[in-house]
Chain A
Amino acid sequence: MDMNEIKEIFFQECEEQLAELESGLLKLNDGDRDPETVNAVFRAVHSIKGGAGAFGLDDLVSFAHVFETTLDCVRSNRLEPNQEVLKVMLRSADVLADLTNAARDGGSVDEARSRQLIKELEALANGEVPQAAAEPAPKAAPPAAAAPVPPVNEEGFQPVAFSFEEFETGEEPAIDLPTYEILFRPKSDLYAKGNDATLLLRDLSRLGEMSIHCDMDGLPALDRMNPEAAYFAWKISLKTDKVEEAIRSVFEFAEWDCELEVMLADDQAQAHEELPMQPVPFDLSMLDEEPRASVEEEDRTVAGERDIRELAGSAAEATSNVVQMTPSAARVPAESGRSAASAAAQSAASQQAASAATPTIRVDLDRVDRLINLVGELVINQAMLSQSVIENDTNGTSSINMGLEELQQLTREIQDSVMAIRAQPVKPVFQRMSRIVREIADMTGKSVRLVTEGENTEVDKTVIDKLAEPLTHMIRNAVDHGLETPEKRIAAGKNPEGTVRLTAKHRSGRIVIELADDGAGINREKVRQKAIDNDLIAADANLSDEEIDNLIFHAGFSTADKISDISGRGVGMDVVKRSIQALGGRINISSKPGQGSVFTMSLPLTLAVLDGMVVTVANQTLVVPLTAIVETLQPEASAIHSFGANQRLISIRNSFCPLVDVGRILNFRATQANPVDGVALLVESEGGGQRALMVDAIQGQRQVVIKSLEANYTHVPGIAAATILGDGRVALILDVDAIVAASRGQALKPEMSLAAAG
């Protein structure tokens, strides 16, 4: 793994953290005051900042820092996260996301916006009302605050400032070096915290020529001592070319847990006479066995990636690095054996570490797709094999049949498992929507709350990817057209804040996504009039409320008085409908005046397979998606009623249902078929109404592998896709909604009557 890979991991992690951040802020917005929620939000920003710092992403670090500071105020209860505060924070989360994207993909962000937010965040942290003209405080940009950067050499280290000019050559014999007298008296805490006087003295001895006296006066008798208490103290005489700061920095970690005096010795001779000092040999290689060289190598690789200023900014630490680096260069890595048993334990532990680091594996989508394709071929192949066995073996009870059944079962299971690999929760798409809602709410001056449910509902990745766009448009539409202004809402006795509810759930092998608003609902009179004006319906057409509502999905339909900037970008609900249909889905709307509208989308869980009913129409084999079929029935002559020129109805349990002649609509035949000779499939069209599709015969039900017609041939009206059947023939999959639409009121449009016979 190299730094680029880690950087990639960092950005992946950023995405997760940003999602965590947003969902946490939304929870707070909903009144959640669980400290863990606040902590999670804080951690998300903190974590982004930490990683960004390691990669020298200054803009990201500065912004995250200010954000974090304000979040810390919330965490420590110094700032109440009310709606106003959260508004700033949610916008900050958006900017943080933009900055992250900019850091990954290049490009720029709206600097004015982030500067403004920095001001607002700082104002919040300072307990102020946001002020537009406020000067950015120094903490707004920590790297800038560390501005006077001292010159650094190639390694990124500052030269140590020697105060003894005459010794600067450093090559002089040690006699003339200054000597420090050091008094070191550890407290018991030093040992309790995992430190040890021996380690500190070891590091000290590396600074120069050291003599030491161990003061054992405090040591009590064996039976009265506490074995974990500190009794020894040391007087050290150290002849070194290092400054006092370097000596003190050895004791940096022990600062609170020992008494330490460091002074320049006035009279070295006297110090030596006073106490019996033991000279400490320089060769202490036995005590440190660091494979040092590799560290320095790694340092070079990472040094380029990190923020040099961070190093320079902490001058004291850099200095201590220098003083420690010099003697350590002389260290020799020593080897010492260990038993085979412990070596085995080590390798076991490292395996464990490896598995802990990768609880999941990341796989190229291409590979999964290839696998899915192969499984699709397997399904077809298995079906073909079954068919030929059935055709050639009339006994029907042979063991081959049983084996085939098992094979079919296995194939199905493999297929399900492979599909599950591609299944992902809709969460990321839903989370993206909350930003859309915020932005449109800001633009329209409306107050909106987005509530999401069922975020963990899983669906094929392709479906998820293609869902974002229509969903975005619908959300824009819901906020822009669906919800009223706060004033109107108050006037209507509603909560001034509108609610948009986004729900996902599984229902009978499909995913159903619902988008509900509590706005004014569809103005049916207006829609109807518009449809009449646009020649979509006849002026005297008798349409149900449901049918009127669904008119908004017609091409070129827009009820907004003037095209707004938000949802009127030349994209109507018809485009939304078409994208949903392209996914093999259905969409419909139900609306209650004054109470709001609900858009319901039903989508297949996967785009790769489909449960279908195989039927025959004019000697062609077609597949009707099973999900569309409500029931099948054998029409009787008495149930068929004709009206108009060539319209027919079928009466089913005392209600009438339009009869749709599939063969005629698809231009498979020139004349109407006799319903009594065929079978009727009762289907539910997306408008909610039922239609009876007339086909000649039903061959059976089976799962088919979807092959795109667009990809392999060209789009055929009324046909959704194609498949290969067990006998090797190509069959077309019917686009039920298109067929129903074509049958509604008027005949097929010219382009719809293109020969679809495959």
Chain B
Amino acid sequence: MASRNTARKKLKLAPVLDLNEATALHERLLALKGGAVTIDASAVERVGALCVQVLMAAARSWEEDHLSFTFAEVSDAFIKTTQLIGVDVAPLMAKEI
């Protein structure tokens, strides 16, 4: 969940990012608009294309707002799946971690 104590909000992704999770993820990201966000994908076990779409749309949206949108702590499954479907998250990886 997004932490309200810090300026930089954190979003921890659910283990299963399937059809059902796409809508939930979409809503949570919309709620975080207007501030820098760090995505925690460390718990992710399964990633569907729909959730990747939502994440990529969010990344673009944040970029347009000139705000930081980074991934930290990504699980192996998350990295491999995004690689598999040709979505490069490397540029979005947080360098400081």
In the assembled complex, the Cα of A277 lies from the Cα of B60 at a distance in Å of: 20
A-B contact pairs, 26 of them (CB 8 A): A186-B49, A196-B18, A197-B49, A197-B85, A198-B49, A198-B52, A198-B84, A198-B85, A201-B84, A201-B85, A219-B60, A221-B57, A222-B29, A222-B54, A222-B60, A223-B33, A225-B54, A227-B23, A227-B25, A230-B49, A232-B49, A232-B52, A232-B53, A278-B83, A280-B86, A336-B45
Would you give the 0/1 interface string for B51-94, flagging 1 where the beta carbon is closer than 8 Å to chain A?
Answer: 01110111011001000000000001100110111111000000
Interface size class on chain B is 20 to 34
Nearest 3 pairs of A and B residues by beta carbon: A212-B86, A214-B86, A227-B26
Given A227-B50, A231-B57, A232-B52, 18 new contacts (CB under 8 A): A196-B18, A198-B84, A201-B84, A213-B86, A219-B57, A220-B57, A221-B64, A223-B30, A223-B61, A227-B26, A227-B53, A228-B19, A228-B22, A230-B49, A277-B86, A284-B84, A286-B77, A287-B80
User: In chain B, what residue has the closest Cβ to A221?
Assistant: B61
User: In the complex, are the beta carbons of A212 and B53 less than 8 A apart?
Assistant: no
Chain A residue at minimum C-beta to C-beta distance from B79: A286
The residue in B25, B52, B85 that gathers the most chain A C-beta atoms within 10 A of its C-beta is B85
Name the A residues within 8 Å of B18 (CB-CB): 196
CA separation between A192 and B20, bound complex, in Å?
A: 10
How many angstroms from the CA of A278 to the CA of B57 in the assembled complex?
20
Q: Does B48 contact A (CB under 8 A)?
A: yes
Taking CB atoms, residues of chain B closer than 8 Å to A214 are 85-87
Q: Does B41 contact A (CB under 8 A)?
A: no
Query: Is residue B39 contacting chain A, with contact meaning CB distance below 8 A?
Result: no
Residue of B nearest to A192 (CB): B19
CA A178 – CA B14 in complex, angstroms?
A: 40
Q: How many whole Å from A437's CB to the nearest CB in chain B?
A: 57
Q: Give the shortest distance, in Å, between B81 (CB) and chain A (any CB).
A: 6
A194, A196, A213 interface centre (most CB from chain B within 10 Å) = A196
Q: A205, A216, A231: which contacts B84 (Cβ < 8 A)?
A: A205
Chain A residue at minimum C-beta to C-beta distance from B22: A227
1/0 per residue A378-409: CB within 8 Å of B? 00000000000000000000000000000000
Taking CB atoms and an 8 Å cut-off, the chain A residues in 160-215 that contact chain B are: 186, 191-192, 194, 196-198, 201-202, 205, 212-214
Q: Which of B19, B52, B57 contacts A222 (CB 8 A)?
A: B57
A281 within 8 A of B: yes
- Given A222-B26, A223-B30, A227-B25, also A191-B83 (CB < 8 A): no
**Which of B23, B30, B61, B84 makes the CB contact (< 8 A) with A280?**
B84
Return the chain B residue nearest A188 by Cβ: B50
Instruction: Give the CA-CA distance A186 to B19 in the complex, in Å.
Output: 14
Q: Which of B10-39 contact A (CB under 8 A)?
A: 18-19, 22-23, 25-26, 29-30, 33
- Chain A residues with Cβ below 8 Å from B25 are 227
| A234 at the binding interface (Cβ < 8 Å) | yes
| With A191-B49, A231-B53: A212-B80 Cβ-Cβ less than 8 Å | no
Q: Are A219 and B53 in contact (CB under 8 A)?
A: yes
* Bound Cα distance from A231 to B77, whole angstroms: 22
Q: Which residues of A contact B33 (CB under 8 A)?
A: 222-223
Q: For A191, give its contact among B30, B50, B84 (CB under 8 Å).
A: B50
- Interface residues of chain A, those whose CB is within 8 Å of chain B, are 186, 191-192, 194, 196-198, 201-202, 205, 212-214, 216, 219-223, 225, 227-228, 230-232, 234, 277-278, 280-281, 284, 286-287, 336
B56 touches A216 (CB 8 A): yes
With A198-B85, A213-B86, A214-B85: A225-B57 Cβ-Cβ less than 8 Å? yes
- Interfacial chain A residues near B45, Cβ < 8 Å: 336
Closest to B50 in A: A191
Give the complex CA separation of A198 and B84 in angstroms.
7
Which residue from chain A places its CB closest to the CB of B62 in the assembled complex? A222
Among A196, A202, A231, A234, contact of B86 (Cβ-Cβ < 8 Å): A234
Inter-subunit contact B61/A228 (CB<8 Å)? no
- How far, in Å, is A197 (CB) from chain B's closest CB? 4
Check B85–A234 contact: CB distance below 8 A.
Answer: yes
Determine which of B61, B81, B85, B88 lies in contact with A232 in the assembled complex, contact meaning CB atoms within 8 Å: B85
Q: How far is the CB of A239 from chain B (nearest CB, A)?
A: 16
Residue of B nearest to A186 (CB): B49
Taken together as a complex, chains A and B put the C-alpha atoms of A212 and B56 apart, in Å, by 17
List chain B residues, Cβ under 8 A from A225.
Answer: 26, 53-54, 57
Residue contact B56 to A219, C-beta cutoff 8 Å: yes
The smallest beta-carbon distance between A233 and chain B, in angstroms, is 10
Cα–Cα, bound, A432→B80 (Å) = 63
Candidates A201, A213, A216, A228; contact of B23 at CB < 8 Å: A228
CB distance from A137 to the nearest CB of B (A): 45
**Which residues of chain A have C-beta atoms less than 8 A from B87's C-beta?**
214, 216
A198 to B57, alpha carbons, bound, how many Å?
18
In contact, A228 and B84 (Cβ under 8 angstroms): no
Given A219-B56, A227-B22, are A287 and B50 also a contact pair (CB < 8 Å)? no
From the candidates A213, A220, A228, A286, name the one contacting B50 in the complex (CB within 8 A): A228
Residue numbers in B under 8 Å from A277 (CB-CB): 86
Check A227/B54 contact, CB under 8 A, given A232-B49, A286-B77: yes
Contact present for B49 and A222 (CB under 8 Å): no
* Most chain B CB within a 10 A radius of its CB, from A191, A227, A231: A227
In the bound complex, CA of A191 to CA of B87 (Å): 18
Instruction: List residues of chain A with CB within 8 A of the CB of B61.
Output: 221-223
Q: How far is the CA of A192 from the CA of B19 in the complex (A)?
A: 7
Q: Which residue of chain A has its CB nearest to the CB of B21?
A: A227
Q: Which residues of B contact A287 (CB under 8 A)?
A: 77, 80-81, 84
Q: Name the residue on A nearest B77 (C-beta).
A: A286
CA distance A219 to B50 in the complex (A): 11
Residue of A nearest to B19 (CB): A191
How distant is the Cα of A278 from the Cα of B30 in the complex, in angstroms?
29
Distance (Å) between the CB of B35 and the closest chain A CB? 14
- In the assembled complex, the CB of A210 is this many whole angstroms from the nearest CB of chain B, namely 9
Which one of B18, B23, B61, B81 has the greatest number of beta carbons of chain A within 10 Å? B81
- CB proximity of B14 to chain A, nearest CB, Å: 14
A232, B84: Cα distance in complex, Å? 13
Residues of B within 8 A of A281 (CB): 80, 83
Q: Which of B19, B54, B86 contacts A278 (CB 8 A)?
A: B86
Residues on A with beta carbons closer than 8 Å to the beta carbon of B84? 198, 201-202, 205, 212, 280, 284, 287
Which residues does chain A contribute within 8 Å of B19, judged by CB atoms?
Answer: 191-192, 194, 228
Closest chain B CB from A396 CB (angstroms): 77
A280: chain B residues within 8 A (beta carbon): 83-84, 86
